[in-house]
Structure 1
């Protein structure tokens, strides 16, 4: 029987419950999505989460698997657009029968961003190297899925990236001075 520290075991249980919920939630979101590109993103993310769920079960049951960070290959929507282009937000519908693609993408983005933050927090609490790496891998996968989701949203105009005026950015950048000497 595998022996883990209580906190890392309980956090891994929480991670598995979260992945379980994410698998189901992605299934619901894929059914509601109108844009085939968004559906493809949702399905890829769901598959990644399903793989991570199975890895977590194998790890806890002592069956082993390659815990090394796996390369994550997500598709890039298109180059990022920076700056605002007449942003518009429709009023929220408190009684929808179907979620909009913007709402679906927003839910995914926030889910993945939260997953990345909490995954790294869980990793920092682990003493077992395999469990630690499992949570690091999960956090990294979440941040990459969040970025892919954000790229989709940016390309569709759902999430525009504001930009500071050039003089403001230059003033802030030039406020920093390089270190004069290196301390050994």
Structure 2
């Protein structure tokens, strides 16, 4: 096996991070109180252990062929109701962490792992090593989604939402392309050069009429 220097350094960093997360998840699983969270953390630890062993075998030239692993999302009915958000405040215990803190730390670790693994993959010339990091990114984002699902179900992570009117306005900003390749011009004729010149020659409205916040009290 012949790897570029940066590929070897990045892979060593990935394995070092996986080893640390394996130990951390073992501690998290021991400290947490919720049995469902414990099961999730233990499963994630086993997933990272398998990925760690695969990386070791690859770097030691044992002929590992890495294939693409499509992520499998776990079903979860997300709750966006901020009124059901559980209160939170840091504790000062020196001997334990709350389940909310454990889940937050695990979630952040998986989010970071997903971003870093994809960054490493983009720098790889070796196909198998590239796919190894891509699979790592997919596994991290899947584990992050599962942790978030537990947090959301327990009221620890409720994302805010727009109103129905705001959602309609946002989605209506984007128009499909017509057959000529123009966006936002479906069913509308292109203005003539004379019309465009007339528009450009018109005086701009007074400044007080251009204030985008005037009358928009909903922005506060």
Q: Same fold (TM over 0.5)?
A: yes
CA 1:179–1:74 in structure 2 vs 1: closer, same or farther (change >3 Å)? closer
CA distance in 1, matches of 2:118, 2:180: 31
Alignment of 1:13-162 (within 5 A): 13-72=12-71, 75-76=74-75, 78-162=76-160
CA distance in 2, matches of 1:65, 1:117: 24
Alignment check: 8 A CA contact 2:67 2:131 kept: yes
CA 1:88–1:152 in structure 2 vs 1: closer, same or farther (change >3 Å)? closer
Alignment check: 8 A CA contact 2:86 2:155 kept: no
Structure 1, unaligned stretches of length 5 or more? none
TM-score (norm 1): 0.92
Alignment check: 8 A CA contact 2:111 2:140 kept: yes
- Which structure would you say has the larger Rg? 2
In the alignment, what sits opposite 2:2?
Answer: 3
Correspondence for 1:173 among 149, 155, 171: 171
CA distance in 2, matches of 1:85, 1:68: 44
Deviation at 1:65, TM superposition (A): 2.6
Alignment check: 8 A CA contact 2:26 2:45 kept: yes
Alpha-carbon RMSD across the aligned residues, in angstroms, is: 1.5
Deviation at 1:72, TM superposition (A): 4.8
Deviation at 1:181, TM superposition (A): 2.1
User: Aligned residues, how many?
Assistant: 181
Output one character per residue of 1:30-86: Cα deviation in whole Å (capped at 9) or x when no partner.
00010110000000000000000000001111112341123555654x411123124
CA distance in 2, matches of 1:13, 1:5: 13
Deviating more after overlay: 158-167 vs 91-100: 91-100
Structure 2, unaligned stretches of length 5 or more? 182-220
CA distance in 2, matches of 1:75, 1:175: 32
CA distance in 2, matches of 1:176, 1:59: 46
- Work out which structure has the larger RCO, using CA pairs closer than 8 Å and 6 or more positions apart in sequence: 1
Alignment check: 8 A CA contact 2:71 2:139 kept: yes
Deviating more after overlay: 83-92 vs 47-56: 83-92
TM-score (norm 2): 0.78
